[in-house]
Structures are given as C-alpha cells and as structure tokens.
C-alpha cells in the first residue's frame, strides 16, 4: 500500500503477538484517510499468517441489537474454515444473537444479556482453538452498543485466546460512542492495544498513488496540484484522478500523465455524496449556519458569523448560541473546533466540505453575506494592505464591480511589492472574468505579466500578452503597443530566444526614437542590452565574448546612460552603468584568456612565483585603462543603487566590484579560491542588506557560487565544504531550489572522490527537496545525477535507465539545449562504460548519441561544451574499435571545442578521454602540449586542495587516477610554469609523484625518509618552483 508501510508492519507484528493472547490495534483518522484499505490489506496478511480473517463493517444508518456481532458469525470465511465443534458453537451463537435460542425464554434482561455474551464468546473460543482468528471491524464508531459489549466481555473473560481485533474508527465521532470509549479504555488498561493515528499523505505519496491508479508516470507539477486540492486525503486523491480523467483534463502525453493547467477545481460525485450523507443528519438551522460560515473561508470566528448575521437582521448571533448550533457539525466530522493561536474558532475538515456547503447556499443569500463582509471591513475607513485580497474576493463575489475592481488592483500591486507572485496571479484570475473597464483590465494584465516574469514562466507570458496587445491596438495607444512589444521581448529572452528578443527591442528603439518617445527608447535600450549579453540586468559578471555581442550591448547601454541622465531616471542609470561595468569585466577576462591561450601568461606566473604582486604588474598591462574605467562605472552604479535603497542592485554592484578587484588573481594567481572566498566575504558583509533574511539569502547564494566555482576548477575540499554549507543555509531559509542544487552538487563532488555511498545520501537529500517543490528541470537533473552515480558503480542497466529517462524528460520539455546536454552526458557515460565492460551495444549508443549532439549543436547559441563532449565520446568509441586515425580527429576536435568556449575551466570530462587518444596517436608536438597541460592541472589541483584527506581521496578517485596515469612521471615540460627558471630536482619530482598518487603527507615523509615537518617544507618549496606558490 502506498504510504502505509508502517501501519502494515504494525498489523503484521500484532498478528504474531496475538498468537499468545488477545491483542488489538486501532486505526484512527478522518473519513477517506485509507482505514478501510488498511483493513483489507491487513486481512490478506492475516490469511497468509494462518489466521481466519473476519471482516465486518458497521453502518451509520442501519442500527440494531448485535448487528456487528451477527456480522461476525455470518461471515462465510468462518463457516468454510470451522470444524464440526466450532461450527456447532457458531450456530448456537447465531441463534442466541437473533433471539431464537429457546434457553432465553423466561430469563430476566440481565440474564438474557449474560447468556448472549457467553454464547458469542464460546463460539469465538471454539474457532480460535482450531485456528487463530483476526477480526477486522470497520467504522466501529457506528457499531451498536451490544456488539461492543460482546468484545469487552471477550477481552475480560478469554484474554489468552489467539485473537487479533483491528478497529477502524473516526476520531471525532468515536468520542460520542460511550461503549466504544469504554472498550478502548479496557484495552489500554490491560495493555492489549496499540492505537495508531493515520496521517494524510505527503506529496510524494500522493504522486505514487496517482502513478498506481493511472498506470504510468505522473507530471510532478500535476501531482503537486492534485495533492494541494485533495490535501493529502487518499480517497479524495483517487476521486479527483477519476473525475479529471473522465473530464479529459488529465491526459497521458508522451507517456506522462499531465493535468491541464487551466483545469478548474472539481468536486467529485463520490466526495459530494459522502459529504451530503453526513450533512443530511444536521438540523436545518445547523446546516444553514454551516453554509453561511463557508462564505468566510476554510477557518472562521464565531464573532464574525455573529456580526454578519446581525447586519443581515438575523437572530442567534451570540458566540454561545452559535457554538451550540455548530456542535452537530463538529460531531459529524464536518467541522473541527480549534484551540490554537490562529484566532479562529472552527475549521472545515476539508476544502471539499466547504465547497459543497457553498454550492447549496442560495445565490441571493451568498451575495448578501459577501456584501456584509465588505461593509464590515470598510466601516472604519481605508483597509490595511493585508485585508485587500479578502475585500477584493468578497466584493467581486457580491457583484460589487466598482469596489471589486479597485480592491483587486490594489491587492495585486501589494502582492507584487511583497514578492508574492503566486498570490498576485490568483487575484488576477479571480478579478479578470468580472472586471470590464479598460483601465483596470490593463492594470491587471500588466500585473499578471509582472508576476509571470517573477516566476520565470515565459511561455505563459507570451500567451497572456495577447489580450494586452489587443487592448493597445483597439485603443490606438502607441505607448502601450511599444510596452507590450518590450514585454514580449523580455519573455522571449527569458525563454532563451535572445535573437528574436533583440529584433523586437531594436524595432521598438527605432520607433520610439522616431516618435521622440525617450521613455520607451530608454526601456528598449535596456532590453536590447540584456538580449545581446544574453543575461538579465544584475545577473552577469563577465559574459563570454563568444556567446554575447559585447560591442552591441555596450552601444545600447551607453545610449541608455545618456537617456537616463536626460530623463532623470536614476534606476535606469544605475542599471546601465552596472552593465557597462560587467561588459568591461568581460573584456578584461577575454584579454587574460587570450594571454593564457597564447602562453603569454607564463612570465607573469613566474614573477608571481618569485613573490611579485599581481596588483603591481597590473599597472603595466595594456588593459589598465579599461580596468580603471570599469571600476569607475561599477562604483557609480553602487552609489546610485545605495541612494535608491535598491538592495538587490547594491548586492550585484558590490559583487561585480569584488570580481573587478580580484580579476588578475582569479585568472593568473596561484590561489583563485582565495579570491572567490574574498568575494563571498564581501557580499556577506553588505550593511545595506538590513533584513536578516536578505543577508542570509545572499550568503547562501554566494556559498553555492563558491561551491560551483570550486567544482569547475576542481578544488574538491572547497566544493564539498561550501556545498554542505549552502545546503544547510538553504534549508534554514526554506529555499527549495537552492537546497536541491546544493545537495546535488555536493553529491557530484563526493562522486569525484569515488565515495558512492556519500554521494547517494546527498542525492537522497536532493530528491527530498525536489519532492517538496517539483519542477520538470529538477526531475531531469535528478535523473542525470542518479545515472552518473550508477555509472560510477558500474551498473550499466541502471545508468541507462536514469540517463535515458533524463533524455526523455528533456525531449518532452521541447528544449533543444536540454536535449543536447542530456545526449552529451549519455554519450560520455556510455562510451566510458562501454570500453570498461566491453559492451558493443553501449558503444553504439554512445556514438548515436554523440552524432545527435553534433546535429543539434550548430543551431544553439554560443559555444556550449556539449559538442566537445560528444567529440570526446566519439574519440573513445573509435579508439576502442581500432580506428585510431578517426579517433584522433575527434580528439583534436574535442580539445579545440574546449578551447573555443573561452573557458579556463579544466573540463576533465573532455580533456581526459581526448588526451588519452592524443597521447596514443598524436604528433610529438601535440603529445608534449597535452602532457604539459595535464602536468599543470595535476600540480594545481594538488596545490589548491588544502584538506589533505580530500586531496588524497580525489587522487585515489576515478578522475584523479586517470589524470595521474595520463600525466605519467613528472618532468618539467615546455609550457609548464617553472620551466623558464629551473627544473625540478629528483626529490621534488618524487614528491609530486607521491602527492598525485594519492599519498598522505605522512606517507610521503616515510617514503622519502623525512620528518613530517621536513616533508611539508619540501612541498612548499616545490610549489614555489612550479609557480603555484601558496597552498
């Protein structure tokens, strides 16, 4: 059973305990929670365990003496399994329970009752002596008093019988059944019962139940929606699934069941019938009050009900009288009485109950109540912002269009200001069908687009902007038309369609300039700059020149600066200055990378090794003027953001300034980690982030940023420590997105160390975070990570299952880039494992996946690494097949693609397989160049990893072993830092070999016959000679 393993285990344990004497379990919970299903599963377990299972259900409406007891002895299972003596005792019990026993004639009532109890107990005794008995009694809150007395008598007189009694009951209604309360008290006093409260499902359990009922995979977002609607009640989940499927709103698309995002909330007929039956027992007054309370919401106060009734001229308005009126609804489980700090007195047991009550209230009465609520809340003047959503909802429901529109617009704006886009969308969706005035519809449509922007939902934005565009066209408003076009450009940019976005922004800029509309010309320049840089304002720190149009973006932001100064728009001016500074950072980075690619950085590294400061050297570099101008722009942006009180802008400017100040160290320094840590420290100390949550949020983001940097630069100890810290901060903040990413990244960092067990534990944490906030992207990432873990463990089948599922999810999402990334990952893993286990099918899969990547890559913007990864995979496959010439071509292509990406990151997944082929078949010059890079990387990784345990583990792990094997014995090669000054001594070469073999400092000292301190000194001297002077 889904989500009920603990309860089933408890029943199975109770069966064993009952072999030695009577024992009982109570399954307690609300209607629809799954008690009946548990009883059926328990009955099956009892049969397997050798018990005679007896199943009886009490009925709310069919009452009578010994009804439940008669059901026990009428069960066909008893007769089928009973021997002659037991069958005779059962027949006597049935006669006695139905009053047909002649011995009952002439007995006094007490004597008659005792006779019945004896005969029933003797029958159960006769059955149990032949074979253990398990009684499964459902809805015992409705069981007749006499039958419950039979059970009490059995427990007291025959406690040693092998009998299990499982009772399912509704907690709220059980308290009114005196004899049931007595039975439970007896069992507790004798220590013969385990009471279990059945909880509602978690979201992951709801998703699993849906999968079983639908017979296929379920879209995580759809599962989340149904879970929220059903509130975790299994019966409601199943009925909603059936209702949505029958209505055609839940459909299977590409093997995955998805709920139509526009599907409204349904009230399934079975749920409606259940509520209707329970409400039918209420008197008219209680039913009316319940329906009126439903207008107020899920929870309500008696004082509010009283105030509304008083305003409408009704009686029964005091809290005492209303409490008495609601008492039957509480007893029926329709309402829950609250005793907490929420301020409410009652709460509907389920949203479906409230919706049913709303549905049977007459329209005039419902509108009158809504109107009374609005009048009460506005009686003392302008309402507070917190009351605006409530006022908007009630005014719209009352048919008060004027106030409904006013309150809706105000509530939506307040929600956006409070960074609550989901609430803003809900309010817009409620208001749009009712509001007809053009100005207010425009305001709401703008707000909806802003909310969708905050939620990063570009497809919904593009669809929603059509009505706003129609309104602009109908009114002939040039300004509104330009605004809509820019909003569409922003949505396209968010969707990754930067070229189309740039075309729209360019057209708006031209139209606005021609019309002399400086405001929209400025907005178009800002949008165009983002489109050309392919990054939003405030989010980029050094865009890659090969992926962005730096010159075009610079021109757009320079014009934006002029226009912003002319219009006095300091917010736009700050944004333009900050982005001009980011473009300067990109050009500085490009200059450094060009020096590295050409080998011109080596003299600088040598000077650093001899103790010269990079800051002093910067003054003589050709980029010094650009460096100064970039700093000036970023400082101006910071001043403006601080004056505006824009915390997010301040943060982005400070971090950019930190990158600016540490640029040389990051690219040429011996310890770039120190520079990144300094950036993190600066951002965490920003005094202008006055809110504690904002400071914690910024710190968590920077911790994750350092983690990502350390993973890409292969600094394993920092990657793990900062990943773990980022995860803990994200959990404290409730940031599920960051929690998921940090857990996944930490899992991969452990995987690089070869620690599959720890990696799996971190992936489980990532899975938990994803279950709390599911998205298609997280589902795909999790499948990819699971596939990499399976591949590291050598589990080919599981690796393929996960990575191919990730590919399926990427394909379903319709994102070529995501599909390309998934294919490249599959190609690399299939190639590596195919060679390792000599699996031809895997090698063919690797080659077909790589070929598909090469087909897709030319249509993608920029220079993503996936093409180089595909070429590396093909090189492995061809080399394994003996085609060394073609393998070498692909290896060269992989290394060239890695170079063209203009990234100084190692990308070992490309370098190692490509280097293996080049070292086997390449020219002497190629081999020398590749081996030099491998030597340098090996030395840098060893030098940067400060935690000795992590360093040892990494070099003993899969990546480290391969890197050390390919680099071979360390000899200073051409192009390696240090070769311009002096070669390593024999002892230093031994030191480096031991270090990168994964030996600890103590093991190195022992191998060389040195003390620990002497070995440490020798390591420091060796690093200095290599040009990586500080560990």
* Plot region of 337 (φ>0 → left; ψ -120 to 50 → alpha; else → beta): beta
pLDDT in tens, 429-485: 888 888 878 888 899 999 999 999 888 888 888 888 988 888 888 878 888 999 999
Same domain, 25 and 160: yes
Residues 199, 703: Cα–Cα separation, whole Å: 37
In a domain, 761, yes or no: no
Same domain, 55 and 160: yes
Same domain, 57 and 140: yes
The stretch 243-263 carries a mean pLDDT of 80
In a domain, 215, yes or no: yes
* Domain containing residue 139: CATH number: 3.40.50.300
- Strand segments, DSSP code E, in 110-264 are 133-138, 163-169, 193-197, 217-218, 250-253, 256-259
Residues 539, 579: Cα–Cα separation, whole Å: 9
| Range with the largest mean pLDDT of 22-31, 250-259, 307-316, 989-998 | 22-31
pLDDT in tens, 911-933: 999 999 999 999 999 998 888 88
Please give the residue that has the higher pLDDT: either 568 or 344: 568
Per-residue pLDDT band for 316 (boundaries 50, 70, 90) equals low
What is the pLDDT at residue 258? 87
Query: Please, is 588 exposed, middle or buried when counting C-beta atoms within 10 Å of its C-beta (0-12, 13-18, 19+)?
Result: buried
Residue whose C-alpha is closest to residue 273's, from 244, 248, 236 = 236
**Contact criterion met (CB below 8 Å) for 739 and 727:** yes
Same domain, 174 and 246: no
Query: Please, is 921 exposed, middle or buried when counting C-beta atoms within 10 Å of its C-beta (0-12, 13-18, 19+)?
Result: middle
Residues 24, 441: Cα–Cα separation, whole Å: 62
The Cβ-side half-sphere exposure at 70, using a 13 Å CA radius, reads 15
| Domain end position, chosen among 361, 381, 399 | 361
Write out the residue range of the structural domain in which residue 487 sits: 456-523
Count of structural domains, the chain = 7
The stretch 839-855 carries a mean pLDDT of 94
Token pair for residue 715?
């600094």
Per-residue pLDDT band for 685 (boundaries 50, 70, 90) equals very low
* Domain containing residue 261: CATH number: 1.10.8
Per-residue pLDDT band for 862 (boundaries 50, 70, 90) equals low
Give the position of tokens 């005679």.
52
- What SS3 state is found at 348? strand
pLDDT in tens, 952-1010: 889 888 888 898 888 876 554 444 444 433 455 777 667 767 766 667 777 777 877 77
Question: Residue 253: what are its φ and ψ, rounded to 5°?
Answer: -120, 120
The count of other CB atoms within 10 Å of the CB of residue 951 is: 27
Per-residue pLDDT band for 615 (boundaries 50, 70, 90) equals low
Same domain, 785 and 860: yes
Please give the residue that has the higher pLDDT: either 1028 or 212: 212
Same domain, 104 and 237: no
Q: For Cα atoms 761, 745, 798, give the angle at the middle one, nearest 5 degrees.
A: 55
Residues 120, 987: Cα–Cα separation, whole Å: 93
* Stretch (H or E) spanning 27: strand 23-28
Residue whose C-alpha is closest to residue 133's, from 193, 58, 190, 78 = 78
pLDDT in tens, 272-282: 777 777 777 78
In a domain, 593, yes or no: no
pLDDT in tens, 55-88: 999 887 677 888 999 989 987 777 777 888 888 9
Token pair for residue 857?
């890559």
pTM over 0.95: no
Per-residue pLDDT band for 597 (boundaries 50, 70, 90) equals low
Residue whose C-alpha is closest to residue 85's, from 121, 127, 131 = 127
Query: Please, is 661 exposed, middle or buried when counting C-beta atoms within 10 Å of its C-beta (0-12, 13-18, 19+)?
Result: middle
What is the pLDDT at residue 1022? 64
pLDDT in tens, 21-49: 999 999 998 888 889 999 999 999 999 99
Same domain, 446 and 479: no
Token pair for residue 55?
């199943």
In a domain, 152, yes or no: yes
**Contact criterion met (CB below 8 Å) for 524 and 513:** no
What is the pLDDT at residue 687? 41
Distance of CA 515 to the CA centre of its chain: 47
What is the pLDDT at residue 1023? 57
* Domain containing residue 349: CATH number: 1.10.10
Same domain, 149 and 25: yes
- What SS3 state is found at 835? helix
- What SS3 state is found at 900? helix
Per-residue pLDDT band for 600 (boundaries 50, 70, 90) equals confident
What is the pLDDT at residue 977? 41
What is the pLDDT at residue 1028? 45
Range scoring the smallest mean pLDDT among 93-97, 111-115, 604-608, 745-749: 604-608
Query: Please, is 337 exposed, middle or buried when counting C-beta atoms within 10 Å of its C-beta (0-12, 13-18, 19+)?
Result: middle
Same domain, 279 and 345: yes
In the predicted model, is pLDDT for residue 683 greater than 70? Answer: no
Same domain, 210 and 189: no
Token pair for residue 834?
């195919």
Residue whose C-alpha is closest to residue 168's, from 51, 27, 294, 59 = 27
Token pair for residue 530?
């983002």
Distances, alpha carbon 456 to alpha carbons 61, 248, 504, 579, in Å: 53, 28, 20, 21
Residues 481, 508: Cα–Cα separation, whole Å: 9
Q: Which residues pair with 197 in a beta bridge?
A: 28
In a domain, 618, yes or no: no
In a domain, 793, yes or no: yes
What is the pLDDT at residue 340? 63
Same domain, 53 and 95: yes
pLDDT in tens, 347-392: 887 777 888 888 888 889 899 999 998 988 888 888 887 788 888 8
* Plot region of 381 (φ>0 → left; ψ -120 to 50 → alpha; else → beta): left
In the predicted model, is pLDDT for residue 689 greater than 50? Answer: no
What is the pLDDT at residue 690? 40
In a domain, 589, yes or no: no
The stretch 831-836 carries a mean pLDDT of 94
Residues 930, 932: Cα–Cα separation, whole Å: 5
pLDDT in tens, 113-166: 999 999 999 999 999 999 999 999 999 988 999 999 999 999 999 999 999 999
Token pair for residue 239?
């009925």
Average pLDDT, the chain: 84
Percent of the chain with pLDDT over 90: 37
| Domain end position, chosen among 523, 551, 572 | 523
Per-residue pLDDT band for 878 (boundaries 50, 70, 90) equals very high
Residues 922, 741: Cα–Cα separation, whole Å: 39
Query: Please, is 926 exposed, middle or buried when counting C-beta atoms within 10 Å of its C-beta (0-12, 13-18, 19+)?
Result: middle
What is the pLDDT at residue 1027? 46
| Domain end position, chosen among 919, 942, 966 | 919
Token pair for residue 852?
């598909």
Same domain, 938 and 1022: yes
The stretch 785-792 carries a mean pLDDT of 94
In a domain, 787, yes or no: yes
pLDDT in tens, 506-537: 999 999 999 999 999 999 999 999 999 988 89
């Amino acid at each position: 059973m889904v989500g009920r393993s603990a309860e089933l285990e408890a029943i199975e344990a109770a069966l064993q305990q009952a072999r030695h004497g009577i024992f009982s379990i109570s399954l307690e919970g609300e209607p629809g929670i799954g008690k009946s299903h548990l009883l059926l599963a328990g009955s099956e377990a009892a049969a397997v365990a050798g018990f005679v299972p007896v199943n009886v259900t009490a009925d709310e409406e069919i009452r009578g003496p010994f009804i439940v007891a008669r059901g026990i002895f009428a069960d066909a299972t008893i007769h089928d399994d009973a021997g002659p003596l037991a069958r005779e005792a059962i027949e006597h019990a049935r006669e006695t329970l139905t009053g047909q026993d002649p011995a009952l004639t002439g007995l006094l009532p007490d004597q008659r009752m005792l006779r019945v109890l004896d005969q029933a107990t003797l029958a159960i005794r006769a059955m149990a002596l032949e074979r253990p008995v398990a009684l499964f009694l459902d809805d015992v809150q409705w069981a007749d008093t006499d039958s419950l007395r039979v059970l009490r008598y059995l427990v007291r007189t025959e406690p040693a019988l092998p009998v299990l009694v499982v009772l399912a009951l509704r907690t709220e209604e059980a308290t009114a059944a005196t004899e049931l309360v007595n039975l439970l008290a007896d069992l507790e006093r004798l220590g013969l019962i385990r009471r279990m409260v059945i909880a509602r499902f978690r979201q992951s359990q709801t998703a699993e139940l849906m999968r079983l009922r639908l017979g296929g995979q379920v879209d995580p977002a759809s599962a989340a929606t149904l879970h929220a609607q059903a509130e975790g009640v299994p019966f409601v989940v199943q009925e909603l699934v059936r209702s949505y499927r029958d209505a055609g709103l839940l459909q299977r698309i590409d093997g995955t069941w998805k709920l139509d995002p526009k599907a409204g909330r349904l009230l399934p007929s079975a749920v409606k019938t259940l509520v209707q039956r329970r409400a039918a027992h209420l008197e008219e007054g209680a039913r009316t009050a319940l329906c009126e309370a439903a207008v107020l919401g899920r929870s309500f106060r008696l004082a509010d009900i009283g105030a509304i009734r008083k305003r409408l001229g009704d009686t029964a308005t005091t809290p005492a009288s209303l409490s008495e009126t609601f008492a039957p609804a509480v007893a029926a489980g329709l309402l829950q009485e609250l005793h907490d700090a929420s301020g409410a007195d009652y709460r509907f047991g389920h949203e479906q109950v409230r919706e049913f009550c709303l549905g049977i209230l007459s329209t005039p009465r419902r509108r009158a109540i809504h109107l009374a609520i609005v009048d009460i809340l506005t009686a003392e003047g302008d309402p507070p912002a917190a009351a605006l959503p409530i006022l908007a909802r009630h005014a719209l429901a009352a048919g008060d269009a004027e106030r409904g529109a006013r309150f809706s617009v105000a509530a939506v704006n307040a929600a956006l200001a409070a960074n609550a886009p989901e609430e803003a969308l809900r309010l817009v969706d409620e208001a749009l069908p009712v509001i007809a005035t053009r100005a207010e519809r425009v305001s709401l449509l703008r707000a909806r687009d802003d909310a969708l922007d905050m939620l990063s939902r570009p497809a919904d934005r593009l669809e929603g902007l059509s009505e706003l565009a129609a309104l602009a066209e109908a009114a002939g408003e040039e300004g509104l038309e330009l605004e809509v076009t820019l909003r569409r450009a922003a949505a396209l940019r968010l969707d990754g369609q930067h070229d189309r976005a740039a075309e729209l922004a360019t057209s708006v800029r031209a139209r606005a300039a021609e019309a002399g509309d400086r405001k929209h010309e400025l907005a178009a320049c800002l949008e165009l700059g983002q489109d050309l840089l392919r990054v939003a304002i405030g989010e980029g720190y050094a865009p890659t020149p090969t992926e962005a149009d730096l010159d075009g973006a610079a021109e757009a932001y320079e014009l934006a600066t002029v226009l912003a100064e002319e219009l006095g728009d300091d917010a736009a001016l700050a944004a333009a200055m900050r982005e001009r500074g980011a473009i300067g950072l990109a050009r500085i980075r490009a200059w450094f990378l060009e020096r590295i690619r050409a080998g011109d950085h080596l003299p600088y590294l040598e000077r650093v090794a001899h103790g010269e400061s990079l800051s002093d050297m910067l003054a003589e570099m050709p980029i010094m003027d650009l460096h100064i101008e970039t700093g000036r722009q970023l400082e101006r942006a910071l001043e403006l953001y601080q004056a505006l009180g824009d915390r997010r802008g301040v943060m982005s400017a400070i971090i950019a300034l930190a990158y600016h100040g540490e640029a040389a160290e990051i690219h040429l320094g011996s310890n770039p980690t120190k520079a990144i840590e300094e950036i993190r420290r600066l951002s965490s100390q920003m005094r202008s982030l006055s809110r504690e949550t904002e400071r914690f949020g910024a710190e968590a983001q920077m911790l994750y940023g350092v983690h990502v940097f350390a993973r890409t630069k292969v600094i394993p100890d920092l990657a793990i420590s900062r990943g773990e810290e980022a995860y803990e901060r994200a959990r404290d903040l409730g940031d599920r997105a960051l929690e998921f990413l940090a857990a996944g990244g930490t899992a991969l960092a452990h995987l690089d160390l070869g620690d599959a067990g720890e990696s799996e534990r971190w992936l489980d944490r990532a899975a938990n975070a994803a279950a709390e906030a599911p998205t298609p992207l997280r589902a795909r990432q999790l499948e990819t990570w699971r596939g990499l873990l399976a591949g590291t463990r050598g589990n080919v089948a599981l690796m393929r299952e996960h990575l191919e599922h990730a590919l399926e999810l990427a394909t379903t999402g319709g994102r070529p880039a995501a599909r390309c990334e998934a294919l490249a990952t599959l190609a690399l893993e299939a190639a590596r494992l195919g060679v390792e286990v000599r699996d031809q099918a895997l090698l063919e899969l690797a080659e077909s996946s790589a070929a598909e990547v090469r087909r897709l890559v030319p249509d993608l913007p920029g220079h993503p690494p996936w093409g180089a990864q595909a070429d590396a995979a093909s090189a492995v496959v061809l080399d394994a097949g003996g085609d060394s010439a073609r393998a070498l071509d692909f290896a060269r292509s992989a290394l060239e693609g890695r170079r063209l990406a203009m990234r100084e990151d190692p990308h070992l997944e490309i370098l190692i397989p490509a280097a293996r082929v080049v070292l086997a078949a390449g020219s002497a010059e190629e081999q020398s160049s590749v081996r030099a890079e491998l030597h340098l990387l090996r030395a840098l990784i060893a030098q940067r990893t400060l935690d000795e345990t992590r360093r040892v583990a990494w070099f003993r792990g899969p990546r480290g072993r391969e890197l050390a094997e390919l680099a071979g014995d360390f000899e200073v090669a051409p192009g390696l830092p240090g070769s311009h000054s002096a070669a390593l001594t024999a002892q230093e070469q031994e030191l480096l070999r031991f270090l990168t073999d994964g030996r600890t400092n103590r093991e190195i000292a022992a191998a060389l016959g040195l003390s620990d301190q002497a070995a440490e000194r020798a390591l420091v001297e060796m690093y200095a000679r290599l040009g990586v002077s500080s560990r």
